[in-house]
Amino acid sequence: MGLVTLEEVMKIHDGAVGAFSTYDLYSAQGIINAAEEKGLPVIAMIGSPVLNKLGNEELGEIMVNLAKKSSAPVCVFLDHSKDLATCIKAIRLGFSAVMIDGSHLSLEENIEVTNKVTEVARGVGVSVEAELGALAGIEDGEEVKNAKMTDPTHVDKFLSSTDVDALAVSIGNAHGLYKGEPKLDFERLQKIADIANVPLVLHGGTGLTVEQFAKGVSMGIKKINIGTEVKKTYIDAFIETSKVNPAAHDMVGIPLACKDAVKEMVKDKLEFFARGYKELL
């Protein structure tokens, strides 16, 4: 199918679609190759800080070109942009979806910046994800995490005042590696799901249990973000492969091993999010 929007990719099956952070050619190839081998849709995403690094616009172009040539449905996605300018940059590069993250703002300001992005994106057929409730950092204590969670009473106003294709929620999930077992507030998720009229998104997927994933998908989560696990998988493969013959400085074999490691990890996640989760319900 090639390049598709976020709206389109979330309708292909009744499970959730994995969204995986991309950092270079090999991680991009691994992510998209996984989708092709499984015959499942995938979201290849790049964070706003990564895209804004000098020279990384070329990486964005590579992601779009790989998606267009893919036999699998691929959404090329800008993750966690806090400003309109970066969203416009991604749209001009050919991305099929952008996320505007106004979660650090007041509800009214979040609505305002989200509407600025959707006004631009809608004109060129690009999907938009927004976030309501800030994602906690792994360094935050429980009181801070609770204060940052999505307030269900804000969901109706936000969605009725905006035109987004998906909504990222904060229910105890966090970026990075969790310290101890993560605790997700599924009661809060259910309240949000009862109100929301768009698919829900779970960020901070690295470290969550399969049981938590399964329950989340069953309650309306349609997109799951995996970032740290991509980095860990890639670097672990780099280290282990380079140990075989350190003197070779193998700039061909090592990156290919990293690509294959990412591919296998993504294949497992795509399969579970799409179908495997049902076995745990």
Could you give the CA distance from residue 30 to residue 140 in angstroms, rounded to a whole number?
32
Q: Which residues contact 143 (CB under 8 A, 6 or more apart)?
A: none
CA atoms within 13 A on the CB side of 18: 31
Those residues whose C-beta lies under 8 Å from the C-beta of residue 234, and which sit 6 or more positions away, are 23, 26, 27, 258, 261, 262
Task: List active site positions.
Answer: 79
Give, in order, the Cα–Cα distances in Å from 153 to each of 157, 183, 188: 8, 21, 11
What residues have CB less than 8 Å from 181, skipping those under 6 apart? 209
> Rg for the chain (alpha carbons), in Å?
18
Task: Measure the CA–CA gap between 223 and 164, rounded to whole angstroms.
Answer: 14
Give CA–CA dist 40/18, Å, rounded: 10
